[in-house]
Amino acid sequence: MSASLRSLVPRSVSEILSVTLRRVGDGGQDAFLAKEQALLEQGEQIRGTFWIAGREDMATAGVLRWSRGDGAELWLINVSADWPGIWHGSGYSDGPLTVHGTSTTGKKISLLHVYVASSSFGSGAPQLRLVARRLVLFRHCTDDDRWKRLVMRTANLHEWMPITGFDPPEMIMDRRFQLREYGVHWKVPRGKRVVLSDAEVRFEPRMITDPAPWRPNRVIRTTMDIAVISKERKTLGELHERYVMPLRDLLVIAGAVPDALLFESVTIGRQPSAVVLETGIEPTARDWPRPDRQFLFYALDIPDFRAGLKKWFALHTRVSPALQYFAESINENKYSHARLLSVASTLETYHRSLYDAAWRRTYKRKNPNKKTRGPFLLERITHLQRISGVPEGITGFSEAGRQLFVASRNHFAHLNEPRYGYSTQDVYDNAIPSIARGVALVHACVMRRLGFTARQTKERIELIHGHLVRQ
């Protein structure tokens, strides 16, 4: 069933008039956030009273601000002497605090792992500045509280898994090719479920709209959430380490572009959800689809999505924290000496975690009279390049390219003279293509591990990295 401009009243949500389609990446992402989170993200402040957890008698008026880069900043006014750090010139307490509060509108707030940053007496009333990397809205909780269900969303998640529920639009043109009728059909799409050994991971499409009949414009906004239902209750830290970080790193690596959490919440049973804000890069959703700037691979490209996701969790467990640092280097979105070192460490750790034992056995069989040793970085990269099944011309890791990469890594790490006949000038002049080649090889290894064929991997690597690795 499609919508028609001749219709006046929609008979169902699927029958939408004069639809203006907007995706989350087009600026509609705030519509899926709680009002308080959206205001904080926009730079607004929350006023209320705050106290150290378990010490309601210390309640003090304060102003709370939040930014992705700096985290939570809480200014307390007219602080009593019971607050740590208030009577010390340094302004620092001995350890982290847990601070609870209530906004002027009655919303509960928790600041976890809080430090006293500074104190001030200049205005005549003692003031205290507290900072925290994690802020929780709508619940009073501590780091030790345990949760059953987690929901997360990143800026690139919906583009990576573009399940929207839209059918192709129906258009009727007149003889002058002016649009006379435009119909859109939407129906609830099915998500995907993946059962892990300790949890169930659900990819859940969502939609919001206003079906009122007399508005001049109609807007449908869609998004994608990841819900994780753990078999056992876990703390926020455990949920992040086990589920949030692997899923975020997968989206960063699969996208080959920066990504960050837009939304995160945890809950247990029928209790209200606690919205969690974490420091990180500023999330920037893209307009999509983007034929001029595609992802490395999309969810629907994975040959067997459920098996591939299970393989990813197993891989992330074995190669952590190297894959986490590799994803962070992508989020930095710049070519630097530190990024080359991060990529080199990822390749070294990847090979050591998965292939070290087999390599040593092969070396001992081929060199029975020599003492068994571990592979050098150049040998590790050469082995990974060979088993990836992707030609050297695609990753750019020919023998000369591999030697230049290792020479660059050794120079940036130890400041020694480059080896293999390269000069310091060669290292600096070729830093960008050297980094791109290392990233391409990591991508090739990950894709093959997730079940992509050598041909599929080759095509995607060439599309994403070809212009850089051949410099």
Amino acid at 188: V
Radius of gyration of the chain from its Cα atoms, rounded to whole angstroms: 26
Does one domain contain both 388 and 334? yes
Domain that holds residue 62: 35-137
pLDDT at 122: 60
Choose the final residue of a domain: 83, 115, 137: 137
Instruction: Say yes or no to pLDDT of 173 above 50.
Output: yes
The mean pLDDT of 406-412, rounded to a whole number, is 95
Residue 341 lies in a domain: yes
In angstroms, the Cα distances linking 147 to 144, 200, 263, 274 are 10, 14, 17, 10
The mean pLDDT of 253-269, rounded to a whole number, is 94
Residue 262 lies in a domain: yes
Q: What is the pTM of this model?
A: 0.87
Q: How many domains does the chain have?
A: 3
Select from 135, 139, 144 the least CA-distant residue to 111. 135
Does one domain contain both 237 and 269? yes
Range of weakest confidence among 17-31, 97-111, 153-167: 17-31
Residue 381 lies in a domain: yes
At 80, the pLDDT band (50, 70, 90 cuts) reads confident
422-439 pLDDT, tens digit each:
999 999 999 999 999 999
Residues 215 and 16: beta-carbon distance below 8 Å: no
Does one domain contain both 418 and 309? yes
In this predicted model, which residue has the larger pLDDT, 247 or 10?
247
302-337 pLDDT, tens digit each:
999 999 999 999 999 999 899 999 999 999 988 999
pLDDT at 290: 76
Residues 196 and 313: beta-carbon distance below 8 Å: yes
Q: How many CB atoms lie within 10 A of CB 258?
A: 19
Range of weakest confidence among 80-94, 123-137, 364-378: 80-94
Per DSSP, the residues of 207-230 read EEE---TT-S-EEEEEEEEEEEEE
pLDDT at 468: 81
Cα–Cα dist 12/17, whole Å: 11
Residue 354 lies in a domain: yes
Does one domain contain both 311 and 455? yes
Does one domain contain both 408 and 273? no
pLDDT at 308: 97
pLDDT at 298: 96
- CA dihedral (232, 110, 28, 243) in degrees, to 10, reads -30
Question: For the chain, what percent of residues have pLDDT higher than 90?
Answer: 65
> Residue 101 is part of a domain; what is its CATH number?
2.40.10
89-98 pLDDT, tens digit each:
444 456 789 9
Residue 41 lies in a domain: yes
247-258 pLDDT, tens digit each:
999 999 999 999
Does one domain contain both 401 and 328? yes
Choose the final residue of a domain: 137, 161, 195: 137
State the number of CA atoms in the 13 A half-sphere of 414 facing the CB.
9
Residues 12 and 1: beta-carbon distance below 8 Å: yes
Does one domain contain both 132 and 200? no
| Average confidence score pLDDT of the chain | 88
Cα–Cα dist 237/133, whole Å: 12
371 in helix, strand or coil? coil
Does one domain contain both 319 and 367? yes
The mean pLDDT of 336-341, rounded to a whole number, is 94
